Amino acid sequence: MKSFLFFLYLIISSLVFSQSAKKLNKQLLAEFALEQQKQDSALAIFTETKREFDSISILTTQKIDLLADKERIARSPYLELFELTNLLKQLGTDPNTLIPIDSKITDLPDYRRSFLPIKELVKRDVTFEKVSSRLYLEMFKRKEQNKMLTEKLNEYRIHTVSNGDKHRELEGINKKLNAFSPRVDSLIDLYQRLGEQLIVQKSKLENKLYELQANYIQKGPKGFSEAYQRIFLDGSPQNQEATPYVGHIIRQEGAQDVFPIDKPDSGSIKSNPVVPTFYEFVDEPAQFPGGNSAMLKYLGENIHYPEIASELGISASKLFVRFRVSDQGVISDIKVIKGVANCPECDAEYIRVIKAMPNWIPGKIDGKAVNSVLSFPIQIHLN
């Protein structure tokens, strides 16, 4: 009798367990289908946000490239304006009489460092991690099916959270890029206007320089200062038909600006040399090891100002220099665009010290070291 009751208990328990497993299986399958629908819906929303990101990224990159072009166009006359100003001062002409001080452009806005975070956002690769819905349940018993379904549901729920975080991240990036766009437009417009103003101002100084040159050539070098002879070379009558020479720029009627070079012997050229490219605009500008503070310390410890500086009563001045930094950090082609007034010896001392600098940390584009050109002012105090 006891054996019969025990056997009956086992049968009933088995039936109950079977029905419970079946009910659980049905519930898990329903949840599995729901998670699939939720994932498909989330993927559709993410895809739309990603499409918006791709569109904004392309537009942002194009605007940054356009801004770089506008800055390059504006910087060229800006640097020439400095050189022309310096030349006119050496010739005894005050540039401020030609360009009112209140309209004179003394600096250009630098956007590159502040735009680096935006360029990083554009490069971000945010992806949706989709959970595979493949399950071969028919090959397994209901108990194993329930275990597989439970594991798959957990996987769905984990990815729902992570994909939700990624979607919010992408929305945040889109918001930042959209907010950034008007700022770029404003800077593009600013550089456009600055470029136009600089060209007008440069033209005024050039015309004055041509006027001084014509007067010098007409009268000859006698009675003119050493600066005239150095800047305009020989102004004697027999050279009046020569191409006018202004500073470092050769100008000829109807021709574009070119820079003079030494002509090699006709038989010395065997092949066209490869000329390295030096970039005006980079993602990360070259810098002195340790940064600006270390550079100023280096200059302060190594510069020995000539006696003429104290004789002239020079106590402080702003120097504007330009030089190249190779992808190995080597400095070359150092030029003083705007030097210490009436003190070429001071400029020469700065060039000497800059030449002796240790190798710089090279500029970078997309994380890769490149050749670059640096132009920047240095505020100096003479002791």
**Domain layout of the chain by residue ranges:** 21-218, 278-383
Look at residues 126, 129, 153 and name the one whose alpha carbon lies nearest to residue 27.
153
Going by the DSSP 8-state scheme, the letter that residue 284 receives in this structure is B
Rounded to whole angstroms, the maximal C-alpha distance in the chain is 142
Q: Percentages helix, strand, coil for the chain, rounded to the nearest 5?
A: 60, 10, 30
Token reading at 160: 């729902």
The amino acid sitting at 305 is Y
Task: Give pLDDT, residue 252.
Answer: 34
Topology of the domain covering 278-383: 3.30.1150
pLDDT tens digits for 71-117? Answer: 888 887 888 888 888 888 888 888 888 887 666 666 677 777 777 78
The amino acid sitting at 46 is F
Token reading at 344: 């070429």
Contacts of 107 (CB under 8 A, 6+ apart): 377
Residue 266 has pLDDT above 80, yes or no: no
pLDDT tens digits for 278-336? Answer: 887 777 889 999 988 888 888 888 888 777 766 776 666 667 788 899 999 999 988 88
Question: Cα(306)–Cα(359) distance, rounded to whole angstroms?
Answer: 26
The mean pLDDT of the chain is 77
pLDDT tens digits for 187-223? Answer: 888 888 888 888 888 888 888 888 888 888 777 777 8
Instruction: Kindly tell me the sign of the dihedral angle through the C-alpha atoms of 301, 364, 285, 197.
Output: positive
> Residue 54: which H helix or E strand, with range?
helix 2-90
> Residue 347: which H helix or E strand, with range?
helix 344-355
Task: Give pLDDT, residue 105.
Answer: 67
Question: Cα(135)–Cα(33) distance, rounded to whole angstroms?
Answer: 12
pLDDT tens digits for 35-78? Answer: 889 999 999 999 999 999 999 999 988 888 888 888 888 887 88
Q: What are phi and psi of 344, to 5 degrees?
A: -60, -25
Of 125 and 258, the structure prediction assigns the larger pLDDT to 125
Question: Cα(212)–Cα(338) distance, rounded to whole angstroms?
Answer: 20
Question: Cα(345)–Cα(309) distance, rounded to whole angstroms?
Answer: 8
Question: Cα(341)–Cα(227) distance, rounded to whole angstroms?
Answer: 13
pTM over 0.75, yes/no = no
> Residue 308: which H helix or E strand, with range?
helix 307-311
